[in-house]
Amino acid sequence: MMKNRKGGQLAVEREDDHAPVWPGGVGACDEKGAYLGAHGRAQGHAGHGHDHADGHDAGCGHDHDHGHDQYDHHDHGNQARDAQSHAGHQHGHGHGHHHHHAPAAGHGRSFALAVALNVVIVVVQGIYGVLANSTALLADAGHNLSDVLGLLFAWGATWLATRRPSARYTFGFGSSSILASLANAGLLLFACGVIVAEAITRLFNPEPVGGLDVFIVATLGIVVNGFSAWLFMRGQKEDLNVRGAFLHMAADALISAAVAVSGLVILFTNWTWLDPVMSIVVVAVILYGTWGLARDSLRLALDAVPPGVDMQRIRDYLTSQPGVIDVHDLHVWALSTTGNALSVHLVMPDGHPGDVVVDGIVATLRARFAMHHATLQVDLGTSNHRCVLDHPPHGH
């Protein structure tokens, strides 16, 4: 906790620094700690002079769990009582929490296994695609290759997200998962373009296709890609980065299934045109699934309010607290593909209500609204504060 009186205001900050993953999904928070982030940098709080780097290092020796679930259903009347268990820690919601590091490790193993399996599939499909003269099989191999690169991006982001913040990267590296999701979406779109271009060429210049080879190799692809998708099924609803990996693997399984069907049909009918047509159909399916991933990743990269976060409910809750007559500068943004942060000014003319009350508000924001990193500033209302972000400077 840090306090600073300046210009009739009392700034109070509560934080949960290293909460990497939680079950609440995209509407929750990750391992980032300091206040001056994508929004905080622009809010003009330089006068507070907060420096959390030292505080993090000093306070991270705790190795316990505060049991935040106790706040799930409490109201302000019992916030003070519930929050007393936190009062003994310098930052209110101390450091060193075990916030689901295990899933990150589990996903690391999933990424490693999926990468290894897909490398094997790329080699096999590439060789037999040339031997069988199958555009669909070669396209599947190319798409699998893009998936290997995408999985490596996502795996690297998962590892970076477990790193602690530093003096330069005060929020940690959780946002690397957002960049990985964008890269995954970009690779999928690129692969779709390559597949369509080759399929159109084959439609106008059909060539004989080895249907049996295509069927056998594509069936192997179904097994491998289906298993890889299953590895990521558990976490794909909570983590956009894992969701990207899941979509990659699921799309690959669909492609392999389509290629296997086309190979079987070509084997008995010699309809060589079916090979490129099936490729185009599969591309349409991939594009449908990729659109949501690309949209959500881009929004998170631009600090949009993450999906599942109801800003009005948060505002109503804060306004309902005793002593609060106004709420302004309310900002919520994604720290990673699995977590959010919040900063807000509470206008309280009677002054700061005490650390225990503030701890209770922060605990409720965490439990009820999945805001694992919350920064509250108490204003006395003696000055006309204007949010810098609401009044951007005009270009000249």
Specify the pLDDT at position 288. 80
Q: Is the pLDDT of residue 223 over 80?
A: yes
Task: Give the class (CATH, top level) of 101-301.
Answer: mainly alpha
Residue 285 · residue 254 · CB < 8 Å: yes
- Spatial distance between the Cα atoms of 381 and 13, rounded to a whole number of angstroms: 18
Which residue type sits at 376? Answer: L
| Alpha-carbon dihedral angle through residues 186, 189, 192, 194, given to the nearest 10 degrees | -60
Which of the listed ranges 81-85, 324-328, 338-342 does the model predict with the highest average pLDDT? 324-328
Cβ neighbours around 65 below 10 Å, total: 12
Q: Report, as an integer, the average pLDDT of 145-168.
A: 80
Distance of CA 30 to the CA centre of its chain: 9
pLDDT at residue 80 in the model: 39
CA distance 280 to 13: 54
Indicate whether 67 pLDDT > 60. Answer: no
- Check pLDDT > 50 for residue 72: no
Q: From residue 170, give the alpha-carbon distance in Å to each of 123, 165, 173, 336, 362.
A: 42, 5, 9, 14, 21
Q: Which two tokens stand for residue 226?
A: 């289906």
Mean pLDDT of the chain: 72
* Cβ contact 155:161 at 8 Å: no
Q: What gap in Å lies between CA 173 and CA 361, rounded to an integer?
A: 27
CA-CA-CA-CA dihedral for 232, 235, 236, 242, to nearest 10: -70
Residues 316, 331: Cα–Cα separation, whole Å: 14
**How far apart (Å, rounded) are the C-alpha atoms in residues 226 and 224?**
6
| pTM for the structure as a whole | 0.58
| Per-residue model confidence (pLDDT) at position 364 | 92
pLDDT band at 365 (very low <50, low <70, confident <90, very high): very high
Please provide the size of the chain in residues. 396
Q: Which residues pair with 343 in a beta bridge?
A: 331, 375
Band (pLDDT 50/70/90 cuts) for residue 376 is very high
243 or 16, which is more confident?
243
The values of phi and psi at residue 21, to 5°, are -145, 145
Under 8 Å between Cβ of 279 and 137: no
Alpha-carbon torsion (300, 304, 306, 307), positive or negative: negative
What is the model's pLDDT at position 236? 56
Poorest-pLDDT segment among 20-34, 74-88, 229-243: 20-34
At residue 68, the pLDDT reads: 40
Band (pLDDT 50/70/90 cuts) for residue 235 is low
Q: Which residue has the tokens 């400077």?
A: 393
The pLDDT-based confidence of 391 (bands split at 50, 70, 90) is low
Query: Which amino acid makes up residue 154?
Result: A
Q: Residue 81: which pLDDT band, with cuts at 50, 70 and 90?
A: very low
CA distances to 21, 101, 366 from 15, in Å:
15, 18, 10
- Distance, in Å, from the CA atom of 64 to the CA atom of 292, rounded to the nearest integer, reads 38
Q: What is the CATH number of domain 2-97+308-390?
A: 3.30.70.1350
C-beta separation of 209 from 275 below 8 A: yes
The residue ranking higher by pLDDT, 365 or 96, is: 365
In the predicted model, what is the mean pLDDT of residues 96-113?
53
Query: CA-to-CA distance for 150 and 246, rounded, in angstroms?
Result: 11
Domain positions in the chain: 2-97+308-390, 101-301
Q: How confident is the model at residue 238 (pLDDT cuts 50, 70, 90)?
A: low
Tens of pLDDT, residues 291-334: 888 888 888 888 888 888 999 999 999 999 999 999 999 999 98
Instruction: Among 46-60, 79-93, 358-372, name the most confident range.
Output: 358-372
- Which residue has better confidence, 72 or 122? 122
Q: pLDDT above 70 covers what percent of the chain? A: 69
Q: Which of 353, 331, 329 is nearest to 340 (CA)?
A: 331
Q: Tokens in use for 289? A: 């699934």
Per-residue confidence band for 390, with pLDDT thresholds at 50, 70 and 90: low
Helix, strand, coil percent values for the chain (each to nearest 5): 55, 10, 35
